[in-house]
Copies of this chain bind each other. A is one copy, B any other.
Amino acid sequence: MSSVPAALQDMAAPDGVCFGCGSSHPEGLQLKSYWDEDGVHVVCRHTPDPKFHGWPGLVYGGLVAMLVDCHSNWTAMAYHYRAEGREPGSLPRIDCVTGKLNLTFIKPTPMGVELTLKARVEGEVGRKSRVICEVWAGDVLTVTADSIFVRVDAEQLKAQAHGRA
């Protein structure tokens, strides 16, 4: 009997509503991220829905940005939990948001292929953490990303956006 580990999203934020990675978003992408066996990378596999094309036969770069955004953020949060010696899902909950999202499109990403995102934190895990993410279409590297994720108090963030803080 093999045991399949739960995704980070399902452990740490089963009530998440994010369009990209929220486990509770009924129409969202429901991205799932997992620690790789190497203990360095966090991996997400996703086959884009055909509606998310940019050109006929090619995945829309904006959809790739969504994948990279959420998966890189979950990579940052996974590293934070590990740095505190805690399992994802333990309290208090750790939340990060995107500070900078930087993508380099190396090659067009073909539609109809399962994509693999491999990400890791580069350098220190801190209030701001740098995450490197690669997007592979089979054995072809199509996109790289080098982004910053900021640890936050999620309630405070919402109040700020609506002019209450």
Q: A57-75 vs B: 1/0 string, CB under 8 Å?
A: 1101111011101100000
Q: A53-B17, A99-B104, A100-B105 are in contact. Are A110 and B62 (CB under 8 A)?
A: no
| Interface stretch of the complex, out of A33-41, A81-89, A114-122, A155-163 | A155-163
Q: Give bound CA distance, A57 to B159, whole Å.
A: 9
Return chain B residues, CB-CB under 8 Å to A62. 19-20, 62, 65-67, 69-70
Return chain B residues, CB-CB under 8 Å to A27. 51
Interface residues of A, Cβ cutoff 8 Å to B:
17-20, 25, 27-28, 51-58, 60-63, 65-67, 69-70, 97-105, 107-110, 154, 157-158, 160-162
Q: Give bound CA distance, A157 to B58, whole Å.
A: 9
Q: Give bound CA distance, A58 to B160, whole Å.
A: 10
Q: A51-B27, A109-B161, A158-B108 are in contact. Are A20 and B57 (CB under 8 A)?
A: no
Q: Give bound CA distance, A101 to B158, whole Å.
A: 26
Q: A161, B107: Cβ atoms under 8 Å?
A: yes
Q: B56, A17: Cβ atoms under 8 Å?
A: yes
Return chain B residues, CB-CB under 8 Å to A67. 62
Q: Give bound CA distance, A34 to B17, whole Å.
A: 33
Partner of A157, one of B55, B66, B160: B55
Partner of A108, one of B28, B103, B160: B160
